[in-house]
Amino acid sequence: MTVQDTIEQKILTALTPSYLDVINESHMHNVPPGSESHFKLVIVSSDFDNLPLVKRHQKVNGILAKELKDDIHALSMQTHTLPEWEERGGALMASPLCHGGDKASQNGD
């Protein structure tokens, strides 16, 4: 299973999101073609209701602890409740470029 599939499966199981997008942004970085190192997640879930942003991100980081340790070099995420998501009309923020990609020595991890 690809890292992307693993992320998707784990989030689907843990958060039963009403919207989920797992975007592989590795091509935006200095890594070989086909890499699975840089991801962006957009998650809309009622599990985020009444949780501050930090707790939401910690929840997701916890679900993906193994992937963050072993595979993912940089992870960007947007976490919304359903009302928040509707209010923004489903808008995405652009992820920053990290200027790197060499997992062992560089950024994001």
Q: State phi, psi for 61 to the nearest 5 degrees.
A: -60, -35
Question: Measured from the CB of residue 20, what is the shortest distance to another protein in angstroms?
Answer: 16
Q: Indicate the residue among 4 and 76 with the shorter CB distance to another protein.
A: 76
Question: Measured from the CB of residue 108, what is the shortest distance to another protein in angstroms?
Answer: 6
Pairing state between β 19-24 and 38-44? antiparallel
- Euclidean distance between CA atoms 85 and 92, whole angstroms: 10
Q: Indicate the residue among 47 and 67 with the shorter CB distance to another protein.
A: 67
Question: Measured from the CB of residue 18, what is the shortest distance to another protein in angstroms?
Answer: 20
- Euclidean distance between CA atoms 50 and 91, whole angstroms: 21
- Euclidean distance between CA atoms 24 and 36, whole angstroms: 7
Binding site for another protein (CB under 8 A): 53-54, 57-58, 61, 65, 68-69, 74-78, 93, 96-100, 106-109
